[in-house]
Homo-oligomer: A and B are copies of this chain.
Amino acid sequence: MSEENNCKEKEVSETEFPVRYAETDAMGVVHHAAYIVYFEEARSQYMRDRSKDYALIEKSGYRLPVTDVKVRYVGSLTYGDRVNIRAWITENRSRKITFNYEIRSSANSRILVSGSTSHTWTTLDGKVTRAPSLWLNF
């Protein structure tokens, strides 16, 4: 039961914001590490959209550290573009969550960067635990 995947449907959150100049690099495009921060921002928005802000989750004594990151880059964003990110959950178990992400320029439907992050629920002192009830009672 605790290992059930509570991921019934593809509920997607979408967030958009402008590329920051500080995120570009000498190749003239967004640096590849910045997309991991974009993923995090999309994950934060996913939680805010459902009134499950990660800030509240931490205040209630839980953390959700990252255990795995996978990213595939097929194109790039540049300064002047708006980042469009779609995020959804593909795995939602009692101790583990996996989010998937697709990043586009808001001007275009082509996926530029995609990836996933997996996370483990822990207490504030880092012990693995079960997801907080706040989270499970979606």
Contacts and interface: CB of A to CB of B under 8 A. Distances in A.
A29 to B, nearest CB: 8
B67 A26 contact: no
A interface secondary structure, majority: mixed
A79 B66 contact: no
A72 interface: yes
A95 interface: no
A20 interface: yes
Nearest to A53: B80
A70 B118 CA distance: 12
Interface residues of A, number: 43
A24 interface: yes
Interface string A25-68: 11111011110110011001100100001111010000101111
B72 A67 contact: yes
